[in-house]
Amino acid sequence: MDKFTTLTGIAAPMPLVNIDTDMIIPKQFLKTIQRSGLGVNLFDELRYDRDGNELPDFVLNQPAYRQAQIIVAGDNFGCGSSREHAPWALLDFGIRCVISTSFADIFFNNCFKNGILPVVLPQDAVDVLMEDARKGANARMTVDLENQTVTTSDGQSFAFEVDPFRKHCLLNGLDDIGLTMEKAPAIESYETQMAQARPWV
C-alpha cells in the first residue's frame, strides 16, 4: 500500500448526499477480485449514458477534474452495501482522499485499509472546501495527514481528527498484510521455538 503523507491536488466537488457504494461502483463490476481496472467504471451510471458515452455534465468528465485526487462530498458518503470494490475503484481512478461531514462505517474502515484517507469535517468547513473545489484545476487543495489539516488554495486551513493507529498505518503504507509482516521476526522466532519444543506437530 502506498504511503499517505501530504497530498496536494485537484479536488472534485460532489455535493450529493447519500452517495452509496452502488453509485461508486455498480454491482455488475463486482465479479473481479483484482484491485486494478475498476477506475474506468467509477461512478459508471453517473459518468456514462446507456451507449457508453461520457456525460459532459458529470464532474469527473469535465476537463478540470479528470485528474482529481480529492473528492469533497455531501453527507453520508459510502452508504449502502459493504463492497470493498468501492475504495478499490476510487483508488484506481486516482482518488486518495474523500472529505465529507460523515461516512458509512464499513466504507470508512475500508478506505483506511486501502490507502485512502476519509476526512470528517463539520458542515461549515465542508462548505468552504466545496466552494474552493469549484474553482477547478487551478485551485489545489492540500491534505496534510501528519499535521491533520486540510488547506484550501487560498490558505484557509481546517483541522481534522484521525485515529492514531490508522494514521500510523497510512503514514507508513501498512495494510493488514503489512502490519503482519512487521511482526515477521517475532513470528519466525515463535515458529522456531515451537518446532524445537514440539517437533511432532
Whether 40 maps to a domain, the answer reads yes
The DSSP line for 103-127 is B-HHHHHHHHHTT-EEEE--HHHHH
190 within some domain: no
Whether residue 117 lies inside any domain: the answer is yes
Provide the CATH number for the domain around residue 62.
3.20.19.10
Task: Name the nearest CA neighbour of 81 among 110, 38, 49.
Answer: 110
Residue 147 lies in a domain: yes
For residue 195, being part of any structural domain is answered with no
pLDDT at 185: 78
- The range of the structural domain enclosing residue 14 comes to 6-174
* Total domains in the fold of the chain: 1
Please report whether residue 48 resides in a domain.
Answer: yes
The CA distance from 101 to 27, in Å, is 26
Residue 73 belongs to a domain = yes
* C-alpha count within 13 angstroms, C-beta hemisphere, residue 78: 30
Q: Quick check: pTM over 0.85?
A: yes
Residue 131: which residues within 8 A CB-CB, separation 6 or more? Answer: none
Instruction: Look at residue 98 and tell me if it is in a domain.
Output: yes
Q: Which residues of the chain have pLDDT under 50?
A: none
Q: For residues 49 and 67, is the Cβ–Cβ distance under 8 A?
A: no
- Distance of alpha carbon 147 from the chain centroid: 18
pLDDT for the residue 11? 98
